[in-house]
Structure 1
Amino acid sequence: MKKERMKDLFRDWRVLALLILLVLSVIAIYPHFDNNGNLTTNLQYGLDLQQGAWLQLEFKAEVVGFTTTEPVDTFVTNLSKSLDTDVIQVDASHLEIRKSFTQAELEPYFAAEGGTVVSYQPGISAATADLVKQILEQKINAMGTKDAKVNTLTGLNNVARYVRVEMAGVDMNQAQQIIGKQGKFEIRIQTTGNSTEHVLYGDSITSVQVPSQSPAGSGNWGVGFTLSEDGASTFQSAAIKYGATVDPSNHKLAMLLDNQTVYSAPLSQQLAGSLQSEPTRELFASTGTGTNGMQEATNLEIQLRAGALPVDVSVAGSGSTSASLGQHYMTMCLIAGILALIMVAFVIFYRYREPRIVLPMVLINASEIVILLGFISVIKFQMDLPTIAGLIAVLGTGIDQLVVITDEILHEGIVPSPNVYLKRLARALTIIVIAAATVLIAMLPLALMDLSTLKGFAIITMMGVIVGVVMTRPAYGKIIMEILSE
C-alpha cells in the first residue's frame, strides 16, 4: 500500500515539477572539484566574499532649474560659451552643466545671458548617468575584469550624484587604473582596396555631443563631435590627399577603438565639398534611421569618448576586501545558513513532536534555497552579504508558511477527510498568497531603487516568495496530505 501511495505521490504534477526544478538547479550550480582538488561551483561571488575593491565617484556637475526671456536654444548656446563647458537641456526647465559650479557662481552667468537660476542640484541627469554606466561597464569589460558591478545612485528627482563601481578579484591600485584608463581611439581613411592610413587620434576630439537626428532633416540619427583646430586642418589635408573629397564612396572614414573598427562610412557630399576649400571642426557621424539608428548612435557616442566620462568625477569613497577576509566571510555565511536550518528543524520538532512532519518541512525549506541558488547561477547574479541575508530570510518566511498549511490542516487535531482537507489547504494557500503579495510590495522599491547594497536582499527575497507560492507550497500540501493520511 505504501509503495502505491509513494508512486502516486511522485506522479503528482506538483511534486514532479518540484523534483525536476531541483535537478535543474543542481545542474546549474554544478558543484565539482577544480584542478587543485577544491570543491567549487558556478556561483559567482561579489565583493564581500572574495578579494576586490570598490570606488564611489562623485560627479562634478549640476542640474539647474531655470527661466529665460531668450529663445532656449540661443540661451543654452550662449551659456555654454560663457561657462566654457557643455550645457545640456534636460527638459523644458532644467539644464545639466557638465562642470562644477556653486549656485552663487552660476547666477551672474545666467543673468548675463537673460536667465535666472530657479533650483540647483549637484549631480547629473538620469540619461547622462545611464551613459556613464555604459561607458564604465564597457571599459571594465574591455580590461577583462569579471564580476564587476556599476550602479549609479539616482534620487527621486532623477538626478544622480554618485556612481559606485565594485570589482571583485582586483586590488585598489588595479581598480583605480581601470577606472582612469582611456582606450586608444583613432580615425583612418581608406586609400586603395582595404588599406587605410592614419589621420587622427582621439586627443584631437575636443567634445562629443549627445545622439541626435541629422540637422539636415533627413531623419538619420548620429553623433556630432568637434575637432581641435590642428585636428581639423590635419583631417582636411588627409581627406584631400587620399581622394575622400572627390570620391567619398571609395575612400571611407573609419573609426577604431583599441584597433577594433567601431564605425565606417563615406563622407557626405556636403562635407566632402566643404573640405575642398576649408577645414571643418564640426562633424556629424550618421548611424541610420529608426530605433536601430538611435541605438547605434548611443554606442558610437561611447566609442568616441574612448572611455572618457562626459563629466569629471572625484573619488568620494573607496574600500577593499582582502582574499583572507572574503574567505572568512564566506565560511561564516555557510555556518550561518546551516545553523539557521538546524534551528528551524528544532523549532518545528518542538512544536509538532512528529518526525514525519518535521522532515518534509525541512527538506522543502532546503529545496527552496537550492532552487534560488540555481536561479542565481543561471542569471550570473553575484552573491554578497545582502544576498546571503535574503536567503536566510527566505528560510524564515518559508517555514512560517509551511506552519500555516500544517496548522490549518490539523485545525481540530485530527486528519480531515479528503474533501475537508482540500478546502483547508485552499484556505491556507489563500492566506499564503496574500502574505506573499505584501512581501513583494514591500520589497519592490528596494529592488527598483539604486540602493546597490540592498538590491540583492530584495531580489532574492522576492524570488523566494515567488518560488514558494508557485512551486514548493503546493507540493508540500500534497506531500503532507499523504503523510497525515497514514
Structure 2
Amino acid sequence: MSVAGIYTTARENWRVTFLVFVLILSSVALFAPTGGGTGADAAPNSTVTNGTTPAPTVNDTGDSGMTNLQYGIQLSGGTRIRAPLQGYVANDVDIGGRDSTAVEQAVAAELPNTDAGDVTVRGPSSEFNRNTPAIELTSNATQSEFTAALDAAGVEYGAVSSGVTGETREETVRVLRSKINQAGLSGGSVTTITDESGQRFVVVTVPNENPESVVDLVQSRGEVEVLAYYPTEENNETVYRNRTVLTQDDFANIGVAEQQQSGGGAFVPVQVREEAAPRFQADMVETGIARPGGSGCGWPSESGTCLLVTVDDRVVASYGMRASLAESMVDGSWVQDSGFQLLAANISEAQSVAISLRAGALPAALSVAEGDVLYVAPSLGAEFRTNSLITALIAVFAVSGVVFVRYGEAKVAAPMVVTALSEVLILLGFAAAIGYPLDLSVIAGFIAVIGTGVDDLIIIADEVMSEGEVNSRRVFQSRFRKAFWVIGAAAATTIVAMSPLAVLSLGDLQGFAIFTILGVLVGVLLTRPAYGDILRALLTER
C-alpha cells in the first residue's frame, strides 16, 4: 500500500488510531517506572536550621509492586478509622455586643477540664451555610454542662447540636494529614464523609498499619506545652508552681527526634521564635531554672527546678538545665540563637513530641468510641487481590463465551471482547496516573463497565446485522447511528443515576460510581465509535 493509501485508511479510521494511542498512554501510566519513591524521613542526625526540617511525604495508597497501581486497605491490608469529631455547637447566638474573647473565657470558666481555647465564637459563614453566629465547644464536657455554662455566662442561643463547625472540621483534616505525613505512615489519607442521617465523620485510612498505632496517633490532640516547675515563697512557706513558658506556636523549627548518646533518653532539637525567645529567657531566669552552674530537677517530688514537657497535659519529660545553656540565658546571649533540646524519656516519646509540634494540635478530638475501626490483615488483603483477579478473569471468559456463542463469527465477536477489555485497561491507566486507590468497590465498578460495555457492543452488532447483510458503508453508517442513539441514551441514564453517589461523600460507593461513570464516558466517546469503525471495515467492502 502506498503512503497515500495508508494516510487515507488512517484518516477514515481515525477513531481506531486514537484508541490505540490512548491504550499506549494507559500502558505507559500503568507499567512505566515512575523514578520516584514515597519519600523518607530526614536523616537521623539532622539538627535545627534556619529552615523547617523537611517532612516525609507519602503516596495516597499502598504500592502494588509490579504496576503503578495503588491499593486501598481492602486489597493491601491496613487500618481505617471512621469517627465523628467531639464537640457541640450552639447556633443562633447573641452575645450582647460583648467581646468574643471575654465570652469564650466566661463559658470556659463554667466547664470542667475546659480552657478558653476549647470554646470558640464563630461568626456567620456563607461557606458553611451558617447565617448567624455560633459558639463551638471542643472539650469533653457534656451537652447539659455546655448549655448550663452558656446560661451562666449570659449567652442567648438557639438549638445546640452535637459535632463541630465546618471550619474546625477542615482544620482537623489538615492537621491529621500532617500528623500521618510526619509519622511517615506511607499511604495514609484523611477524608470526610456524611452518612444517610446527615452525620459527618472523619475517615482516616492507613495501609499496612495495625489499629493500635493509628488510634494512638489520631486520638491524641497533640497539644504540646513546656512548663516551668519552680518553688516560690507564699505565707512563709515554699510552694511549687507550674507556669506555661512555651506553647506550640512559640516554636520556629523542629528537628528530628534523636536518641541520646548515653542515659537511654531522647531529645528533639528545637528553635524558639524570635518574638517569643526574650520572654522565654526571662521566664527561665525569673523561675531560677536558668542560673549560673545550671539547675537540677527532682520532679515529681518537690525539689529543684524543672522544665516539664507535656503532650495533652501528660508529662513526657522533666529535666533541669545544663550549665552552658543556663549561663547563656543569664547573660542574655541565648536569644541570638534561641535553640535548645526538648528532652523525652525515650525515642517514642520524642517522636510523639516532634510529630505534634510539626503538625499542630487538633482543634477537636476524634470520638473513636462513637465510630468504628476496620482492620484488614495484609495476608487477607493479598487474598482479596487474588480473588479479584480471578473474578475479573471469569467475567472476561464468560463474556467472551457468550459473545462467540451468540454470533459464531470471530470477526464480529473478537473485536467486541478486545474493545471491552481496552476500556478496563484505559481505566486502570487512569487510576495509576492519578494514584487513585483500588479497592473492592472500584473492582466492582470495573466489572460493571465490562458488562455494560459488552451490552452496548451487542446492541451495535445486532442493529448493524439485524436486517441482513451490510452491502455498503452508507447502509452501515445509517444502522450504526441508530444503535448509537440507543446506547447514548442508556449512557446518559447511567451517568445521571450514578452522579449523586460520585459527588456525595458516601465512602466506598463513591469509588464504584466514579469508575462506572468514567467507564461509560470512555465507551461512548472512544471505544464504541472505534468498534463501529472496526466492524465497518470487516463487514463492508465499499
What TM-score results when the alignment is normalised by the length of structure 1? 0.71
Distance 2:522 2:109 in 1: 57
Structure 1 counterpart of 2:252, from 245, 250, 255: 255
Cα 1:30–1:385 change in 2 (3 A) is same
Partner residue in 2 for 1:53 = 79
From 77, 88, 97, the counterpart of 1:62: 88
Over residues 236-290 of structure 1, what are the superposed CA-to-partner deviations in whole Å (9 max), with x where a residue is unaligned?
xxxxxxxxxxxxxxxxx8612345999998649xx99xx99xx9xxxxxxxxxxx
Match of 1:24 in 2: 25
User: Offset of 1:360 from its aligned partner?
Assistant: 0.5
Correspondence 1:144 to 2:184: yes
Using the TM superposition, name which of 38-47 and 333-342 deviates more: 38-47
User: Per-residue deviation at 1:475?
Assistant: 0.8
Residues 1:89 and 2:102 are matched in the alignment: no
Which residue among 184, 194, 204 is the counterpart of 1:165? 204
Task: State the shift of 1:96 in Å.
Answer: 2.4
TM-superposition CA deviations, 1:423-463 (whole Å, max 9, x none):
33233333333322222222222222222222211111111
CA displacement 1:357-386 (0-9 Å, x = unmatched) = 110010000000001000000101111111
Q: 1:112 aligns with which of 149, 152, 166?
A: 152
Report % sequence identity.
Answer: 33
Residue 68 of structure 1 contacts residue 114 of structure 1 at CA under 8 Å; is this kept in 2? no
Q: What does 1:298-313 align with in structure 2 at a 5 Å threshold?
A: 306-313=359-366
The structure number with the bigger radius of gyration is: 2
Runs of 5+ consecutive residues of structure 1 not aligned to the other structure: 33-37, 186-201, 206-227, 236-252, 280-301
Say if 2:379 is the partner of 1:324.
Answer: yes
In the alignment, the residues of structure 1 paired with residue 163 and residue 438 of structure 2 have an alpha-carbon distance, to the nearest angstrom, of 30
> Does the aligned pair in 2 maintain the 1:150–1:163 contact within 8 Å?
yes
Report deviation, 1:55. Answer: 2.0
Q: Which of 58, 79, 93 matches 2:107?
A: 79
Counterpart contact for 2:119–2:135, Cα < 8 Å? no
Tell me if structure 2 keeps the 8 A contact 1:66–1:115: no
Q: How many angstroms apart in 1 are the aligned matches of 2:496 and 2:123? A: 31
- Give distance in 2, aligned partners of 1:331 and 1:156: 32
The structure where helix makes up a greater share of residues is 1
Query: What is the rounded CA distance, in whole Å, between the counterparts of 1:181 and 1:108 in structure 2?
Result: 27
1-structure distance, mates of 2:171, 2:197 = 18
**Distance change in 2, residues 1:424/1:100 (3 Å):** farther
2:420 matches 1:376:
no
What are the ranges of 5 or more consecutive residues in structure 2 without an aligned counterpart? 34-63, 125-131, 228-240, 257-267, 287-354
Selected match of 2:449 from 381, 390, 394? 394
2: CA distance, partners of 1:382 / 1:48: 10
Q: Which residue of 1 aligns with 2:138?
A: 98
What are the Cα deviations for residues 185-205 of structure 1, in whole angstroms up to 9, with x where unaligned? 9xxxxxxxxxxxxxxxx4149
Q: Aligned partners of 2:255, 2:9: CA distance in 1, in Å?
A: 60
Q: Is the 8 A contact 1:65 1:120 kept in 2?
A: yes
Counterparts of 1:72 and 1:40, CA distance in 2: 63
Return the alpha-carbon distance in structure 2 between the equivalents of residues 70 and 106 of structure 1. 19
Superposed displacement of residue 89, structure 1: 1.3
Which of the residues 122, 136, 139 maps onto 2:162?
Answer: 122
Structure 1 letter corresponding to 2:152: A
Secondary structure, in 3 states, of the residue corresponding to 1:430? helix
> How is 1:79-478 mapped onto 2 (pairs within 5 angstroms)?
79-83=107-111, 84=114, 85-89=118-122, 91=124, 92-154=132-194, 160=200, 162-179=201-218, 202-204=224-226, 230-231=243-244, 255-258=252-255, 267=275, 306-315=359-368, 316-415=371-470, 417-478=472-533
Specify the SS of the correspondent of 1:308.
Answer: coil
- Conserved? CA contact 1:46–1:384, under 8 Å: yes
Secondary structure, in 3 states, of the residue corresponding to 1:230? strand
One-letter identity of the residue aligned with 1:164: V
Q: What do residues 116-135 of structure 1 show as CA deviations (whole Å, max 9, x unaligned)?
A: 45323321222221211111
- Matched residue of 1:87: which SS? strand
Q: 1:39 to 1:56 in 2, by over 3 A?
A: closer
Change (3 A) 1:90 1:15: farther
> Matches of 1:375 and 1:411 in 2, distance apart?
36
The Cα of 1:392 is off from its aligned counterpart by: 0.5
Secondary structure, in 3 states, of the residue corresponding to 1:424? helix
What SS class does the counterpart of residue 66 from structure 1 fall into?
coil
Query: Counterparts of 1:456 and 1:137 in 2: how far apart (Å)?
Result: 21
For residues 56 and 254 of structure 1, the distance between their equivalents in structure 2, rounded to whole angstroms, comes to 32
Tell me if the contact between 1:21 and 1:371 (Cα under 8 Å) persists in the aligned partners.
Answer: yes
Equivalent AA in structure 1 for residue 74 of structure 2: D
* Corresponding residue SS for 1:96: strand
Kindly provide the CA deviation profile for residues 309-354 of structure 1, in whole angstroms up to 9, marking residues without a partner as x. 1112232321211222111111110011011111111222232222
The Cα offsets for residues 182-231 of structure 1, whole Å up to 9 and x where unpaired, read as 88x9xxxxxxxxxxxxxxxx4149xxxxxxxxxxxxxxxxxxxxxx9834
Which amino acid is 1:105 matched to?
A: E
User: Aligned partner of 2:202: which letter?
Assistant: V
With over 3 angstroms needed to count, the CA separation of the structure-2 counterparts of 1:52 and 1:163, relative to structure 1, is same
Question: How many residue pairs end up in the alignment?
Answer: 394
Cα deviation, residue 307, structure 1: 4.2
Match of 1:288 in 2: none
Deviations 1:61-88 (A, max 9, x none): 1223234372375584343443443224
Task: After TM superposition, give the deviation of residue 405 of structure 1 in Å.
Answer: 1.9
More divergent stretch after superposition (22-31 vs 259-268): 259-268
- Are 2:95 and 2:156, in contact at CA under 8 Å, matched by a contact in 1? no
Q: Closer, same or farther in 2 for the Cα pair 1:155/1:88, shift >3 Å? A: farther
What is the distance in 2 between the residues matched to 1:408 and 1:5? Answer: 30
Of the structure 1 ranges 121-130 and 459-468, higher mean CA displacement relative to structure 2 is found in 121-130
Aligned counterparts of 1:340 and 1:426: Cα–Cα separation in 2: 29
Change (3 A) 1:325 1:69: closer
Q: TM-score of the superposition, structure 2-length normalised?
A: 0.64
